[in-house]
Structure 1
Amino acid sequence: MENLYRIPEHVAVIMDGNGRWAKRRGLPRVYGHREGAKRVEEIIEVAKEAGIKWLSVFAFSTENWGRPKEEVDAIMSLLVEYINKKVPYLVENDIRLRFMGRIEELPEMIKASVKEGEKATANCSSMNFVVALNYSGKAEIIDAVNRLLKEGKKEISEEEFKNYFYIPQMPDPDLLIRTSGEERISNFMLWQMAYTEFYFTETLWPDFSREEFLKALYEYQSRERRFGKVLSI
């Protein structure tokens, strides 16, 4: 890809705006989620082409259960359909599918698809595609602490603490992209985003194209990452 010289290892995405996209067109919200799933496919392709090793998306939060039942049911059905359809593509392209969140609390149909998708791609290694499902950053931290308490730990370092997260080997995001004009992280990887670069765009997720993704990567290249260090004036 032209002019891409500093590639983030891990790009995280908050895919926002599906509902608004559908509403503006006079369509049920589920149409927005279905169109948004198509964008996921496109972004996976361009991320792999760019050499990104980890791509994570915030698909469904623990708070999303408060949405109307018909919308939640539609999202879950779409997720199962997506996993079943895309696993052969992921295997063919050496992309490992992983999930993070309170997976055991999901309906049996979802858990079965999640486990099958992870098992089928377990040996893939060129890129990791992580889906945050029934996830919240606060829940991840609480779950990590509870695991520590069960093990009888009384003191721990930051590096050791990361070993208790849902995917311990996942590097912290270098870049977070959020669509739809909202400028917050909405309880997504709270610990991991201490030094992440944020990129916000007005574009609604179903309209977030290959070109939009590349625009975010070019913007990332122009930034000087400090990791908490204050530079003298």
Structure 2
Amino acid sequence: MTGLIPGPSRLLRAGMGTAALGLLLIYHSVDTVPADGSVPGQAAPPAATAPADAGAAGAAGAAVGPAPAAPVPAAAPLKRSKPTRLRIPQINVDAPFTELTLNPSGQLNAPPPEDKNLVGWYADGVSPGERGASVVAGHVDTSKGPAVFLLLSLMLPGNKVEVQRADGTVAVFAVDAVETFAKDAFPDQRVYGKTPDAQLRLITCGGTYDKKRKDYLDNVVVFAHLESSRPA
């Protein structure tokens, strides 16, 4: 892979500097692989099951556990501030941020593949904690082996995601859902569209690795909302 994230350049450019579409069409591809097409590191982690599956199981007569607790209301959005570090205790993520940029064609460049413990955000998009859908992207693996978002698909609703920010605050997000989408049927508007509050999207690759395409066939997306904030 070239290290670029495919996406309509017109839409990416239209979203620059606005909260209307967050980062628009960025993570349709996020991982780099060796030139021979082999799968780097270990096999891709299992894809997370979408919440709709649980409902289908219940309708089929399978045992259904207690109803989940009511979600914590969203906190008031924060002012814009650059993210500096991402922490997700449940999957042992503790990583610095890098700013993602556009190439001359309007495609978003992926995080540098040589650093396995690094996440990226589009600096002209919504910062984590601001009103809108802020998108954080990371590799599931690289040519050097497993990477920062290897276990992203294993997250569960209610898990916490902490984003340390340059203004001295920590934005705490609560996970609402973890879903897997085929890259050729990615729900752009749902992932990147307007939101009434501060939300977060964590995105990486998942599913089956296609050696011919040198890419994974799916994207794993974690949907979360701002639950609270505190001093760092």
TM-score bucket of the superposed structures, by smaller chain: under 0.3
TM-score in terms of structure 2 length: 0.27
Structure with bigger strand share is 2
TM-score in terms of structure 1 length: 0.26
Larger Cα-atom Rg: 1
Structure with bigger helix share is 1
